Amino acid sequence: MRQVDHFIHGGAGAAGTRFADIMDPNNGGVQAQVVLGDQSVLDAAVAAAQAAQPAWAAMNPQRRARVMFDFKALIEKHMDELAHMLSAEHGKVIADSKGDIQRGLEVVEFCCGLPHVLKGEYTHGAGPGIDVWSMRQPLGIGAGITPFNFPAMIPLWMGAVATSVGNAFILKPSERDPSVPNRLAELFLEAGMPAGIFQVVHGDKEMVDAILDHPAISAVSFVGSSDIAHYVYNRGVAAGKRVQAMGGAKNHGIVMPDADLDQVVNDLTGAAFGSAGERCMALPVVVPVGDDTAERLKAKLIPAIEALRVGISTDADAHYGPVVTAQHKAKVEGWIQTCVDEGGELVVDGRGFKLQGHEEGYFIGPTLFDHVTTDMESYKEEIFGPVLQMVRAANFEEALALPSKHQYGNGVAIFTRNGHAAREFAARVNVGMVGINVPIPVPVAYHSFGGWKRSGFGDTDQYGMEGIKFWTKVKKITARWPDGSPDGTNAFIIPTMG
């Protein structure tokens, strides 16, 4: 059986004694095993990072950028290979996997221009004969702990920025789909990155705790559920580390009465059900303003949802594939039953979906609820599956209050033709990322990604200038050069050799 090993100092790490199964979501079978590491494995990665990082940091930024240029070209060359590898372990369809990789690639492209953004500030004559300037320097060794749902994009968000500014980076990806992170490490090496600068260690909570406690790791970036994000943030900060920890979400889509409902339905079917809803920027709650809007929207949503094709990850005609594990399928279906028990109106039921020839796969059909209310646990918590809940609002103010008061504050969208309503909503809503007629408002690579409230712990966001700030520290220099030389001669005269 295929085995996924650690990637330490340019090659496979030490043999393991603990393993986890890597499932095939399309048929429910075991396709490989991943080695689960311990403290000794992390120590080996840290030692390799400590040996390699000083020379990498001393390399001029332009040369590090050239590595990123070559790495970008290698990802593009191997796009099909990476996408099929990703889909085989995650279950998302090939088109979604390519999107996963492409969004990470955009951050790599941003990093190709890092010599410009790493320039410090300079003031000539801040005082009599005094100049002041600043320089950005790497932290040393950073680590990333990433989730199963974006095994290419999020490691690239973290690792590309961390390494391009001069750090060594240790990645602990999800043990559910670890092959793509290993392949990215190989491509980094092929692009010219020294061994020890981008490494991959696999593991479970034991490895996470080892990373959070290791004294040589200066910063940790995390993406996952909010409870674990809170744990990672608290434990990492207590250990003296810089930590950014992105958590869960319950993103709302506000539909005003003047919205183009055909466009809304098209956007909702992709945003709510794409990638089987396993995205922190999915749109699992739609908020029509007014009962007339709700009824018109529902009438258009039902046939659109029923027309969605669920298939295996390699089915080019499928809109989405299976969820990642049998346990996650059971969890999502449990939330569907909870919403039914709480009084939600089940309009389209995706439970019990079976795909011919793949009956043991982890498939869930698209599900729609109406008349969901804010006191329901299924509304308060993140379902992370192909489930769309409709929460009706009487007016704009009520619609604005729903995402603003929710425990999560990752993303939100408003659909309207009214510029004033959109402007007012964007300014007042208590959420970190806002889309105006954009259902999944993930900022481009030269901006930054991050939510508020229980969606994000820490003071900085992912990638963009916020990422540069997170992975560097600023040194400030104040200098004064006195006139003349110690022996009283004119310092401006060039000395000659006698």
Q: What is the pLDDT of residues 130-187, one digit of tens each?
A: 999 999 999 999 999 999 999 999 999 999 999 999 999 999 999 999 999 999 999 9
339 is catalytic: no
Residue-wise pLDDT for 425-436, tens only, equals 999 999 999 999
Q: Is the pLDDT of residue 113 over 80?
A: yes
Place 498 in a pLDDT band, splitting at 50, 70 and 90: very low
Q: What token pair was written down for 449?
A: 């990604």
Q: Please give the Cα distance from 471 to 460 (Å, whole number).
A: 10
Active-site residue identified among 111, 112, 280, 339: 280
Q: Please give the Cα distance from 242 to 457 (Å, whole number).
A: 11
Q: What pTM does this model have?
A: 0.93
Q: Which amino acid is at 360?
A: E
Confidence at residue 487, expressed as pLDDT on a 0 to 100 scale: 64
Residue-wise pLDDT for 38-88, tens only, equals 999 999 999 999 999 999 999 999 999 999 999 999 999 999 999 999 999
Place 483 in a pLDDT band, splitting at 50, 70 and 90: confident
- Please, what is the angle between helix 153-164 and helix 179-190, to 10°? 30
**Which ranges of 342-443 would DSSP assign to H, the alpha helix?**
377-380, 396-405, 419-428
Identify the structural domains of the chain with CATH numbers, from first to last.
Answer: 2-247+455-478 (3.40.605.10), 252-436 (3.40.309.10)
Gap between the terminal Cα atoms of the chain: 77
